[in-house]
Amino acid sequence: MAGVYDFKVKDRSGNEVSLNEYAGKVLLIVNTATGCGFTPHYEPLEAMYKDLKDKGFEILDFPCNQFANQAPGDEEEIHQFCTMKFGTEFPQFAKLNVNGEEADPLFAYLATEKPFEGFGKGLKNAALKKFTEMNNKAFGDKAYIKWNFTKFLIDREGKVIARFEPTVDMGDVRKAVEDLLSK
């Protein structure tokens, strides 16, 4: 069975990067967008990265424009936005698709390992569910990711441990990361 470290992705400059370079680290893999209501997640993500990177933690940021065109810029524009507005220092990769026939194999794998289980309860979550159902109709059974800022937690062996929808409190995400780092 493949693991996360078996995949190759493109960095912001288009160079191929083996995720094996991150072997032995706890990873949080995130699909992002600069114009999304969840874009403020960059702030707690960067804080978590600064606090935990020396303990073997990495965040891998993959911009995606498949959700209401909320990441329209090119890689450099997206990078400039993230670094200037949120001071991000964690690795940002090339923009990619996470759904459909052209979905990046990494995200298809992640979503197969930890499928979507819902956005939770509450009015905001119900509204997001309706919006994502309309947006993802075009992808059919290949609608792997439901919205921007879906996060996958990977252990030091490359196994997918958890999936966090964008509606999950970032404090809960951080706690899961810290718990995994302490093992």
Note the pLDDT tens digit of each residue in 116-161: 998 887 777 777 887 788 778 878 888 899 999 999 999 999 999 9
Is 0.85 topped by the overall pTM? Answer: yes
Contact assessment for residue 38 and residue 44, using Cβ atoms and an 8 Å cutoff:
no
> Residue range 25-52: average pLDDT?
96
Query: How far, in Å, CA of 135 to CA of 93, rounded?
Result: 24
Can you tell me the distance from the alpha carbon of 165 to that of 144, in angstroms, rounded to the nearest whole number?
12
Rounded to the nearest 10°, the torsion over CA 113, 156, 172, 1 is 0
Bridge partners of 30?
A: 61, 151
pLDDT, one tens digit per residue, over 155-177 is 999 999 999 999 999 999 999 99
Exposed (0-12), middle (13-18) or buried (19+): which is 151, by Cβ within 10 Å? buried
What residue ranges do the domains of the chain occupy?
Answer: 4-181
- Average pLDDT over the chain reads 93
Catalytic residue list = 36
Beta bridge partners of 78: none
The residues near 27 (Cβ < 8 Å, ≥ 6 apart) are 4, 57, 58, 59, 60, 152, 153, 154
Strand partners, 27: 58, 154
Q: pLDDT value at position 113?
A: 96
| Domain topology for 4-181 | Glutaredoxin (3.40.30)
If residue 117 lies in a helix (H) or strand (E), which one and from where to where?
Answer: none
**How do residues 19-38 score in pLDDT, each as one tens digit?**
999 999 999 999 999 999 89
